[in-house]
Amino acid sequence: MKEEEKENLFITFQQTIESIIIDKQKNPKNEKLLNNFNAKINLGLQIDEDYYFWVNLLAKEGNYSLNRGRLEEYDLELMMTPEDMLFFSNGENSILNMMMKKNSFGYRKLRFSKSSNGKRNLGVLLKLPKILVLD
């Protein structure tokens, strides 16, 4: 994958996530959820059979940022194709669908692993759809 393609993918992904969070922030009922969600999440976007484009989502006290690269210390690591992530974000694919069905590469649509300190952090995984899925 060329650097220009990587940058376009990142910008598209960043704008999608930011627009979802901005939309959530407009609704007062989401304020407590957004402000209390603190996590460091690695997102591996599977581009090829063996290539992942890594971005990270940092959430702390209501501030969210999406950056390129993989964090050394993280609470949760998710791997999926960009298409599956977008279908998940717009609500077309549920978390159950993502964990049970297979993607175009033959892996589960959503795969996750333990944090850098060995904890599973299932609470972060369960809260994530409330943050990243449009209402």
Q: Any idea what the CATH number is for the domain that residue 18 is in?
A: 3.30.1050.10
The stretch 28-55 carries a mean pLDDT of 94
- Please count the structural domains in the chain: 1
CA distance 7 to 77: 21
Tens of pLDDT along 89-103? 888 998 889 999 999
Q: What is the pTM of this model?
A: 0.91
Q: Which domain holds residue 123?
A: 3-132
Q: Is the pLDDT of residue 36 over 90?
A: yes
The stretch 53-77 carries a mean pLDDT of 95
Helix (H, G, I), strand (E, B) or coil at 18: helix
The stretch 26-39 carries a mean pLDDT of 94
The reported pLDDT for the residue numbered 90 is 85
Please name the amino acid found at residue 20. Answer: I
Percentage of the residues of the chain whose pLDDT score is greater than 70: 100
The reported pLDDT for the residue numbered 37 is 95
The stretch 1-21 carries a mean pLDDT of 92
The whole-angstrom distance between residue 68's C-alpha and the CA centroid of its chain comes to 12
Query: Considering only 24-28, 41-45, 119-123, which range has the smallest mean pLDDT?
Result: 119-123
The reported pLDDT for the residue numbered 80 is 95
CB 110 within 8 A of CB 84: yes
Q: What is the DSSP letter of 108?
A: B
